[in-house]
Structure 1
């Protein structure tokens, strides 16, 4: 990138842009036309063709979740086999671009760490029941959880520490609070199943990392019923769309993945797709959605989300932006584990997890992305001489498949083995005396985690600073609140694309060649204007003298 320059270049650049735009073909409105698609039925979402409350298999009573699943399978006899092939069940995924085995079972993160040795806590978000340890039976059909995705009563909840089960008996929660929580009515829920809504998906995806809005930045409980300003697609004031309207399913296989997000959809409208995937903007809006051809030209190198999601965490719920495990384990003067809240009521320090930082209305970080994510696994050798990027996204200006995408970059500091140069499995949850949340002893908890995982461990640990990229694809703002042109095409550190340095950006950068062309064009325009004015002056005088004669 060239050096930045001062104000007069802005006028030269503007003259060049105006001249170039005057030569461009007239813009065409491809976003739609007269007529349109007729409304098939009033009332929004399609109603079910079956009343599940009438089915004899669902009359109950049901004592457990697996009992409900057995009843569901009496009719939906292929459902469990389909679910068992999905990432929601296996927590494994093979990257289509790198061939690497990923998913929660293998990929590293800078939030809670590994699920290994911590299964009963982590699997409260598994699409199944009873995953308590590494010996889990992934073939047991009745352990598929139908209700997590298909409950429409908003009363079905899994217990955070019961390996994916809901309550089956009244229980004091939290322990010592005196508050008795009643179990959900499984029979009523089974009789009122339907298509997944935002609340179903959000039960896990809004609370990943142990709390509301912790992980993603663009996913939190504000999306259960968002205003149009927060998300035009999900808002009841807008399209009132459910997650599955875009993340379409085929035989219980979901579309869209952070391990291999589609960088550039070249097919456009969904009718052209053969993969049942609508998890791209283009699948609904097509490849040229704007009336202005210049904006459509941007879309070949700039992701739709880059302009249409100006900030994330916009729903009034702060997202976590930093998690430092190295400070965990402190106790107060009374000898009890220390917990500190900031002025906004956010937990800024936890003896169990370390230091935190948060953000609301956060401007994304922008990076080139071509569809390839280089995800670090727990077993990978790492370079501890620099900040470790856990999921580096590939791309550059010279890559025709890359576009500029928005990201939340999560800052972390987490334990690793400085001898073997690998990240470690930290055993944080459990009733045994080696779990970190019980003893605050990293030496014990890391050794226990690595032994459980069967991974080599030198016996030494340290902490490494990490970064993790999270795609920003939700919380789409109304079009009138999209990013303005001058937020990118501007000089100084306030420009949104200040970190994109491998392109020439009009209004921001200086080019000696363009400067000379600009001066030449300005000079020609000046000479032409003077010449034109002189000729008119001379001709007027000639006509004047002719009349006098």
Structure 2
């Protein structure tokens, strides 16, 4: 306010400036008096529209979460707990707690029952690590399975989210002019300046071990273009005590890379020399590399990529959680991609399965022999009478 105070002092000698200064001062006073905690709409104005539109990035954050019902999110539902974002994403000195922010999610797993000042950034913060009824088998899962994996059966349940983007198909024109088309849900599925895009709704997450950190590539990191390049990937494994099996939205893309340097390329998109104006990849890639002081060999192609987004909102009511049989099943279970451990119902182990069947068969034989013995014993007792 130093500049304003100087302006205020100067206005003492000018009636018009003084009126303007008083008006500004009044507006500042009103603004200060109206400061309050942010609402879902405040936070959502950025986070619901990240990536350039409603639901583009996060499958569990879109405009439907501004005023969700309980069926969409039990915590934020206006007919339920009606939580605002800051109910869980607490702050200290403008540092916002949350999985990808200043405070990592899993450095500790305190419950508010243990410490009511702990940052509310995990389900355990409110529900503890044994949230189910005493003796419930579900409590045995919390050391390896994130609560979200069971309690968020699907994401993008109201609005669609963008699931793929293929830059290699961009550049087409009609009558010499760029064009765009719309597909399902009224969303653009092709633009000359961007390529093909796919939008989907009501999607099952993909599952990975996750310890709260995500590894990301940069434009300087070497890649292997012979396979799918993970632009970001969750870190963690089953032997990490801080890791849990966690649900993710996986966005799939096709984007340019340098065939000689084996690095991803960063095209210049906007402006008169950008791709959106020229539809010329060679020019856009050259200008993009130059603007970031990155090498570009002049030879490029396209590579498949993936990018992950943790799924932690859109918590369903308890009656709509993931059924046990959706994971503990032999074929096409939700966690079919996770290996390195034995999951009952999904996996088979020759010796264990054989021993199990022998125990079952032995039990049946034992019960049958016992029943037959009782029958003969009863007959003998009757004959003795």
Same fold (TM over 0.5): yes
Aligned partner (choices 248, 251, 263) of residue 422 of structure 1: 263
Corresponding residue for 2:5? none
Give secondary structure in 2 for the equivalent of 1:527.
helix
Q: Which range moved further: 299-308 or 263-272?
A: 263-272
Corresponding residue for 1:267? 110
Instruction: Spell out the pairing of 1:444-463 with structure 2 (5 A cutoff).
Output: 444-463=283-302
CA distance in 2, matches of 1:190, 1:443: 51
Whether 1:236 aligns to 2:78 is yes
Aligned partner (choices 188, 195, 206) of residue 48 of structure 2: 206
Contact 1:376 1:390 in 2 (8 A): yes
Instruction: Describe the superposition over 1:26-69 as per-residue Cα deviations: whole angstroms up to 9, x where unpaired.
Output: xxxxxxxxxxxxxxxxxxxxxxxxxxxxxxxx97449xxxx98x
Corresponding residue for 2:195? 354
Kindly tell me: are residues 230 and 538 of structure 1, through their superposed partners in 2, closer, same or farther at Cα, counting changes over 3 Å?
same
Corresponding residue for 1:7? none
Give secondary structure in 2 for the equivalent of 1:344.
helix
- Runs of 4+ deviating beyond 6 Å: none
Instruction: Describe the superposition over 1:317-339 as per-residue Cα deviations: whole angstroms up to 9, x where unpaired.
Output: 11000011122222212x22111
CA distance in 2, matches of 1:381, 1:59: 59
Corresponding residue for 2:146? 303
CA distance in 2, matches of 1:531, 1:461: 75
Corresponding residue for 1:477? 316
Corresponding residue for 2:163? 321
CA distance in 1, matches of 2:266, 2:244: 35
**TM-score (normalised: structure 2):** 0.87
Corresponding residue for 2:60? 218
Contact 1:322 1:411 in 2 (8 A): yes
CA distance in 2, matches of 1:530, 1:538: 13
CA distance in 1, matches of 2:206, 2:284: 34
Corresponding residue for 2:353? 515
Shift of 1:501: 2.8
Q: Tell me how large the CA RMSD over aligned residues is.
A: 2.5
Contact 2:59 2:311 in 1 (8 A): yes
Aligned partner (choices 363, 371, 378) of residue 212 of structure 2: 371
CA distance in 2, matches of 1:264, 1:245: 20
Corresponding residue for 1:526? 364
Give secondary structure in 2 for the equivalent of 1:225.
coil
Aligned residues, how many?
364
Contact 2:148 2:246 in 1 (8 A): yes
Kindly tell me: are residues 343 and 257 of structure 1, through their superposed partners in 2, closer, same or farther at Cα, counting changes over 3 Å?
closer
**TM-score (normalised: structure 1):** 0.62
Give secondary structure in 2 for the equivalent of 1:283.
helix
Corresponding residue for 1:503? 341
Instruction: Describe the superposition over 1:84-135 as per-residue Cα deviations: whole angstroms up to 9, x where unpaired.
Output: xxxxxxxxxxxxxxxxxxxxxxxxxxxxxxxxxxxxxxxxxxxxxxxxxxxx
Give secondary structure in 2 for the equivalent of 1:444.
helix
Give secondary structure in 2 for the equivalent of 1:300.
coil
Aligned partner (choices 377, 388, 404) of residue 229 of structure 2: 388
Whether 1:195 aligns to 2:73 is no
Instruction: Describe the superposition over 1:140-184 as per-residue Cα deviations: whole angstroms up to 9, x where unpaired.
Output: xxxxxxxxxxxxxxxxxxxxxxxxxxxxxxxxxxxxxxxxxxxxx
Q: Which runs of 5+ in 1 are unaligned?
A: 1-57, 73-186
Kindly tell me: are residues 390 and 261 of structure 1, through their superposed partners in 2, closer, same or farther at Cα, counting changes over 3 Å?
farther
Contact 1:308 1:483 in 2 (8 A): yes
CA distance in 1, matches of 2:180, 2:138: 49
CA distance in 1, matches of 2:32, 2:261: 50
